Amino acid sequence: MKRIAVLTSGGDSPGMNAAIRAVVRAATYHDLGVYAVDRGYQGLIENRIRPMSARDVGGIINRGGTILRTARCKAFMETEGRAQAAANLKSHSIEGLVVIGGDGSYRGAQALDAEHGIRCIGLPGTIDNDIGGTDYTIGYDTALNIAVEAIDRIRDTAESHERLFFIEVMGRDSGYLSMMSGIAGGAEEILVPETPTDIPALVEKLQHDRRKGKRSSIIVVAEGDDAGRAIDVAHMVSETSEFKDPRVVVIGHLQRGGTPTAFDRILASRLGIRAVEALVQGETGKMVGIHGKSVVLHPLEEAWTNRTLFDPSLIQVAHVLAT
């Protein structure tokens, strides 16, 4: 192997730049030519491929987002699109590709490998922390800390005005980020898609808390909760109880931007280096992850067949702490 490329795909996450930096510098260390693909799989189809050097990634480890930019590409889901992408890689004599993204990005990498023999290694870049094969994904720790800080700030005003707040946390159809931020933020209730939401029971809990003397409450709602978004839950509570004036805060994309934490920078650096080593060793169709203290390789399909879930015992932890 003489040349490899790196791209970011899907939703951005803090630490992606640290991963890009690690891939470029590890490739340089192993005397490989390294290329950047701008705008993910869309850029691959459009031949937005350019060489990079170790100096090109200086000063980016602390930056959020991705300097390579990202895009969702419907054309890459078609056979013709993947054929064009593979042809563009081969025109640059690129034999291996590092894909930084989530399980959808991994599916694209798997297809590129199977159909065109482009060796692919995946790096888990998503704030949702729902990818199988790794304990933590790049960006999760930063997003968690941003969500907790937001909850802390909202609690100040909730207590000052004796209000009920519903705070919506991102995470797609996973409640991992919501559960952890709710516990760390001291939420009175945490609504996640992994468990059914009972609105009457929620109202009863709020009423019980008021009788005990609680004058404000924070309810964390995962964006994929079965009862709907935070605005929907707030409306149902308002319509069926005396809590007529709840406030709703959607943290949203604030969780995806900003300076990555030290944890995410180190994780991205370790995984990025291992991805390059895997390509040098002839691996393909694998993802790099962290298990305990060890960096590990798993088949790409592990990402969607064995998704990471929060420990169910945390539901009881949250219940006890909200007493």
% of the chain exceeding 70 in pLDDT: 100
Mean pLDDT of 240-262: 95
Per-residue pLDDT, 58: 97
Q: Residue 28 corresponds to which amino acid? A: T
Q: Which of the residues are catalytic?
A: 128
Q: Is the pTM of this model over 0.85?
A: yes
Q: Is the pLDDT of residue 323 over 90?
A: no
Average pLDDT, the chain: 96
Q: Are 197 and 163 in contact (CB under 8 A)?
A: no
Tokens of 311: 């420990």
Render pLDDT for 190-228 as a digit per residue (tens, 0 to 9): 999 999 999 999 999 999 999 999 999 999 999 999 999
Render pLDDT for 33-87 as a digit per residue (tens, 0 to 9): 999 999 999 999 999 999 999 999 999 999 999 999 998 888 999 999 999 999 9
Contacts of 268 (CB under 8 A, 6+ apart): 15, 16, 18, 19, 22, 123, 125, 138, 260
Contacts of 267 (CB under 8 A, 6+ apart): 15, 136, 138, 141, 290
Q: Is the pLDDT of residue 313 over 90?
A: yes
C-alpha gyration radius of the chain: 22
Render pLDDT for 134-183 as a digit per residue (tens, 0 to 9): 999 999 999 999 999 999 999 999 999 999 999 999 998 999 999 999 99
**Structural domains of the chain ordered from first start:** 3-139+260-305 (3.40.50.450), 141-257 (3.40.50.460)
